[in-house]
């Protein structure tokens, strides 16, 4: 019997090509010998090339991944695939060591995870590995959000390893968050031994069942022989088409077991599978005619607009094509929350963000455009408002053959799901949009259309109550000042946010100029996302400044991850808006519930004391005159740092499109209206206080 000590797994090793060539045979392994460690990440197999023993090598296509509830095929593979190449390089490895090997083959450089009994064989297999970093959070939810931040910053899938039961259920929220926002994430969960499944064993949970609705795909590995194949499938599916989370459930007897026989080579080598090829291959037949028709529509349109979403962030070519199209055809550009940075917001063609809290002029432009070109966006209700009132001019233009809605989208189910499109181009935007740019005729200017937009911009820019040295700091001013402070280095600054008013103010008052510089929870709106996401982003992009813009309520949910940043020397920065309330909810309570602030105020710790106890640097700003200096000190710091800014409370985020209303019905900032609202609030609160006093005395 052969085994591998963890110590040897971390040692030096020959090139993978030499190892694989020596290990792969066309039949059963004749003699089992201890094999050197597979440490290199780039590898080729000489057994897959033509030679005397193998004159016509062929790849056998792997079938599409089976659903997680399918049983393992136990029929004879030899009768179906008599010439299958067999790999005996993993014979003698434990499941945990095979896991380590597969991580190397997928170029994994970072793992976020938390240990536990059911996953210990995997932790033992990666013990002291010098090939990747392991980041230990304070909670499994933190691991999931760190993996999201890492993936959003780098474009590579985030990898999470947790134990069974509560360890697995604690990553459900990050998985749903990743599914909502299209973030590639591969989650490995420990599980009780297969012999104990169904017995209500300690820390047993039906993880596959629980995560079926919050993952692109999930599976339980039932034998050690299928483990490499399932890992390959997981990485492929997570990164194919619209990215998303996948989960591989690993019973303890599988990861603790020893592989004793050769397995098909194709199952051990990362490669494209049919499911992936079908969604990434763009053919002329699929896109040529739709692109031609789309170009014809743009040629006759007079008021076009580009509406850009998160899909433009997946590949650098996508954002480049967006910029090229906007410049070539002089098309104004608006983005979703996740599309921020796909187009330079300093450019005159930028309309900033669209939707519920988007710019007044972007919303007006969408409603008046005769052609909307949607790129990697899914027409979320926070963007469209009331569907029946969305884009009336474009819908009319579609009926008259002079415009409409064009949708560039990689996921077929998102086309015509919310809004009926005039023309749809299905496929990877990085491939389809450049083809469209080639077909588009150059336009020197659109004076009437751009002139109208500039009138709207001048009439209603993003506005808020003027600063007052004697008053509390306006939260919007914090964001504007930060944007100015980091202006010279914006290509190397990544913002993350929690969820709430601070998130929308960051989108409104920080000007994004580069892709992948805004990382936030959009679709699910997960409070507590900001700090762990910042840690993951900083691990993935250590060359960048990573700053978490957070509200105090949101920050309180995951502030324990400050310890993670300290332990692993991850110098993230946090700006906390300290006003003692759940601002977004209190805004709705003020505007739509007659100032009845039901359970939306919380006690905060002293963030300066917290910083000291966590090994962070702490800075506190209470006066407007100290704000810029505080932000500059934050940016210049080389250690984990928190800036505690005491900001004004009961400040509304405006513009606001109320739920159930069209984009034309947005509420904008009006100084007189806000004064009247504050006075009405004081009267209401006084009445409520009097009622409470009488009830207490009576």
CATH of the domain at 331: 3.40.50.1220
d(CA 121, CA 186): 18
289 and 243 in one domain? no
Assess if residue 538 is contained within a domain.
Answer: yes
pLDDT at 441 over 50: yes
pLDDT of residue 697: 82
Whether residues 295 and 261 fall in one domain: no
Residue 235 shares a structural domain with residue 343? no
Is the predicted pLDDT of residue 472 greater than 50, yes or no? yes
Q: Do 314 and 193 belong to one domain?
A: no
**Could you tell me which residue, 47 or 204, shows the higher pLDDT?**
204
Residues 418 and 542 in one domain: no
Contact status, residue 373 vs residue 298, Cβ threshold 8 Å: yes
In a domain, 666, yes or no: no
**Model pLDDT, residue 129:** 92
Catalytic center residues: 140, 202-203, 252, 584
Q: Following CA atoms 171, 176, 181, 186 in sequence, which dihedral angle do they give, to the nearest 10 degrees?
A: 50
Q: Are strands 545-551 and 245-251 parallel, antiparallel or unpaired?
A: unpaired
Q: Which letter, b or e, does each residue of 536-560 get, where b requires 16 or more Cβ atoms within 10 Å of its Cβ?
A: bbbbbbeebbbbbbbbbbbbbbbbe
CA separation for the pair 80, 124 (Å, rounded): 37
- pLDDT at residue 33 is higher than 70: no
pLDDT of 696: 81
Q: Are residues 85 and 122 in the same domain?
A: yes
Residue 603 contacts residue 596 (beta carbons within 8 Å): no
Q: Does residue 332 sit within a domain? A: yes
| Alpha-carbon dihedral 270, 271, 276, 281, rounded to 10 degrees | 140
Which alpha helices (DSSP H) does 376-500 contain, by range? 381-384, 392-399, 429-439, 447-459, 475-485
What average pLDDT score do residues 183-191 get? 99
Is it the case that residue 294 has pLDDT exceeding 60?
Answer: yes
Q: Which of 432, 459, 486 is the last residue of a domain?
A: 459
Q: Within a domain: residue 698? A: no
Q: Is the residue at 124 inside a domain? A: yes
Average pLDDT, integer, range 123-143: 96
Q: What is the sign of the dihedral through the CA atoms of 362, 365, 367 and 370?
A: negative
pLDDT for the residue numbered 55: 45
Specify the higher pLDDT residue, 423 or 38: 423
Residue 66 has pLDDT above 50, yes or no: no
Residues 390 and 480 in one domain: no
What is the tens place of the pLDDT at every residue in 407-418? Answer: 999 999 999 999
Distance CA 548, CA 542 (A): 15
* Together in a domain, 49 and 129: yes
Co-location of 333 and 239 in the same domain: no
**Percent of the chain, pLDDT > 70?**
86
Give the tens place of pLDDT for each residue, 668-686: 999 999 899 889 988 888 8
- On the question of a cis peptide bond just before residue 655, with omega within 30 degrees of 0, the verdict is yes
For residue 61, is pLDDT > 60?
A: no
Report the DSSP beta bridge partners of residue 373: 306, 406
- Low-confidence winner among 13-22, 483-492, 606-615 (lowest mean pLDDT): 13-22
Q: How far is it, in rounded angstroms, from Cα 204 to Cα 252?
A: 11
pLDDT of residue 689: 83
Domain boundary residue, one of 429, 459, 489: 459
Q: What pLDDT does residue 6 have?
A: 38
pLDDT of residue 276: 52
Residue 473: strand pairing partners: 647
| Other Cβ atoms within 10 Å of 31 Cβ, number | 5
For residue 8, pLDDT beyond 60: no
Longest dimension (CA), the chain: 99
Q: 511 and 379: one domain?
A: no
Q: And the tokens for 664?
A: 């034309």
The dihedral built from the CA positions of residue 412, 415, 418 and 420, taken in this order, carries a sign that is negative
pLDDT at 282: 57
CB 509 within 8 A of CB 480: yes
The DSSP code for 595 is T
Beta carbons of 178 and 150 less than 8 angstroms apart: no
The answer on pLDDT for 280 being more than 70 is: no
Query: Where is average pLDDT lowest: 57-66, 122-131, 517-526?
Result: 57-66
Shared domain for 360 and 291, answered yes or no, is: yes
pLDDT at 185 > cutoff 60:
yes
User: Domain boundary residue among 259, 280, 301?
Assistant: 280
Number of domains within the chain: 3
- Say if CB 92 and CB 258 are below 8 A apart: yes
Give the CATH number for residue 555.
3.40.50.970
Could you tell me if residue 467 is inside a domain? Answer: no
Which strands, in side-by-side order, build the sheet including 24-25? 24-25, 86-87, 263-264
Is 223 among the domain residues? Answer: yes
Query: Do 484 and 445 share a domain, yes or no?
Result: no
Could you tell me the two tokens for 431? 């491939």
What pLDDT is recorded for position 25?
37
Q: Picking from 87-96, 282-291, 622-631, which range would have the lowest pLDDT averaged per residue?
A: 282-291
Q: Which residue has the higher pLDDT, 634 or 1?
A: 634
Per-residue confidence at 485, pLDDT binned at 50, 70, 90? very high
Token pair listed for 199: 């017995």
Q: What is the pLDDT of residue 52?
A: 46
Instruction: Tokens for 686, please give them.
Output: 């006084």
Q: Which residues pair with 405 in a beta bridge?
A: 372
DSSP designation for 295: H
DSSP for residue 667 = B
Name the DSSP class of 413: G
3-state secondary structure of 121: helix
- List the domain range (segments joined by +) for residue 534: 475-650
| Region 561-565 average pLDDT | 99
Give me the residues paired with residue 576 across strands: 550, 644
User: What pLDDT score does 82 carry?
Assistant: 58
DSSP 81: -
Answer yes or no: is 220 within a domain. yes
Strand order in the sheet with 350-353: 350-353, 333-335, 304-308, 371-375, 404-409, 423-426
What is the rounded distance in angstroms from the CA atom of residue 330 to the CA atom of residue 305? Answer: 9
Q: pLDDT-derived band of residue 314, with 50, 70 and 90 as boundaries? A: confident
- The Cα 258–Cα 361 span in angstroms is 63
Average pLDDT, the chain: 89
pTM comes to 0.86
């Amino acid at each position: 019997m052969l085994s591998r000590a963890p110590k040897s797994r971390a040692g030096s090793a020959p090139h993978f090509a030499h190892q694989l060539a020596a290990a792969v045979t066309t039949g059963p392994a004749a003699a089992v010998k201890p094999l050197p460690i597979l440490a290199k990440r780039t590898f080729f197999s000489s057994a897959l090339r033509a030679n005397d023993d193998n004159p016509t090598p062929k790849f056998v296509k792997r079938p599409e991944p089976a659903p997680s509830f399918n049983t393992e095929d136990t029929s004879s593979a030899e009768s179906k695939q008599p010439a299958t190449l067999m790999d005996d390089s993993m014979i003698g490895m434990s499941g945990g060591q095979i896991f380590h090997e597969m991580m190397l083959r997928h170029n994994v450089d970072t793992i976020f995870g938390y240990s536990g009994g059911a996953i210990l064989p995997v932790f033992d297999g990666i013990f002291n590995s010098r090939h990747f970093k392991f980041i230990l959070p304070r909670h499994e939810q933190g691991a999931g959000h760190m993996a999201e931040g890492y993936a959003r910053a780098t474009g590579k899938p985030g990898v999470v390893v947790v134990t069974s039961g509560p360890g697995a259920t604690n990553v459900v929220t990050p998985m749903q968050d990743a599914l909502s926002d299209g973030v590639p994430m591969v989650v490995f969960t420990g599980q009780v031994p297969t012999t104990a499944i169904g017995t209500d064993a300690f820390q047993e949970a039906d993880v596959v069942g629980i995560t079926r609705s919050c993952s692109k795909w999930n599976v339980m590995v039932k034998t050690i022989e299928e483990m490499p194949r399932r890992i390959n499938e997981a990485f492929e599916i997570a990164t194919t088409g619209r990215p998303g989370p996948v989960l591989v459930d690993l019973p303890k007897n599988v990861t603790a077991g020893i592989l004793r026989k050769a397995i098909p080579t194709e199952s051990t080598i990362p490669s494209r599978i049919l499911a992936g090829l079908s969604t990434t291959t763009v053919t002329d037949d699929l896109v040529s005619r739709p692109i031609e028709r789309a170009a014809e529509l743009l040629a006759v349109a007079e008021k076009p607009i580009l509406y850009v979403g998160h899909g433009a962030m997946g590949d650098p070519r996508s954002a480049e094509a967006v910029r090229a199209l906007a410049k070539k055809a002089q098309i104004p550009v608006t983005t979703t929350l996740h599309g921020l940075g796909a187009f330079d917001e300093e450019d005159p063609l930028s309309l900033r963000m669209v939707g519920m809290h988007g710019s007044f002029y972007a919303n007006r432009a969408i409603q008046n455009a005769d052609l909307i070109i949607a790129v990697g966006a899914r027409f979320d209700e926070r963007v469209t408002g009331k569907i029946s009132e969305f884009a009336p001019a474009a819908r009319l233009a579609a009926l008259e053959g002079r415009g409409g809605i064009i949708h560039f989208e990689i996921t077929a189910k998102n086309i015509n799901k919310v809004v009926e499109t005039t023309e749809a181009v299905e496929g990877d935007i990085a491939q389809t949009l450049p083809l469209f740019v080639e077909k588009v005729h150059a336009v020197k200017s659109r004076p009437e259309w751009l002139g109208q937009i500039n009138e709207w911009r001048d009439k209603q820019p993003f506005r808020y109550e003027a600063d007052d040295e004697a008053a509390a700091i306006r939260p919007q001013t914090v964001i504007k000042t930060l944007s100015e402070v980091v202006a010279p280095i914006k290509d190397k600054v990544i913002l993350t946010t929690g969820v709430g008013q601070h998130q929308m103010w960051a989108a409104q008052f920080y000007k994004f100029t580069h892709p992948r510089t805004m990382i936030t929870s959009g679709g699910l709106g997960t409070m507590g996302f900001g700090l762990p996401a910042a840690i993951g982003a900083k691990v993935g992009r250590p060359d960048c400044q990573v700053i978490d813009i957070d509200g105090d309520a949101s920050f309180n949910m995951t502030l324990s991850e400050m310890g993670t940043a300290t332990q692993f020397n991850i110098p993230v920065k946090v700006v906390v808006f300290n006003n003692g309330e759940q601002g977004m909810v209190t805004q709705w309570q003020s505007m739509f519930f007659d100032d009845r602030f039901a359970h939306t105020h919380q006690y905060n710790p002293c963030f300066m004391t917290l910083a000291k106890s966590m090994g962070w640097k702490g800075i506190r700003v209470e006066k407007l005159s100290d704000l810029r200096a505080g932000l500059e000190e934050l940016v210049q710091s080389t250690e984990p740092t928190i800036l505690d800014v005491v900001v004004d409370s009961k400040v509304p985020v405006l513009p606001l499109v109320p739920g159930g209303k069209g984009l034309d019905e947005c509420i904008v900032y009006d100084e007189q209206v806000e004064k009247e609202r504050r006075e009405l609030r004081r009267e209401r609160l006084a009445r409520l206080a009097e009622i409470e006093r009488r009830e207490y005395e009576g």
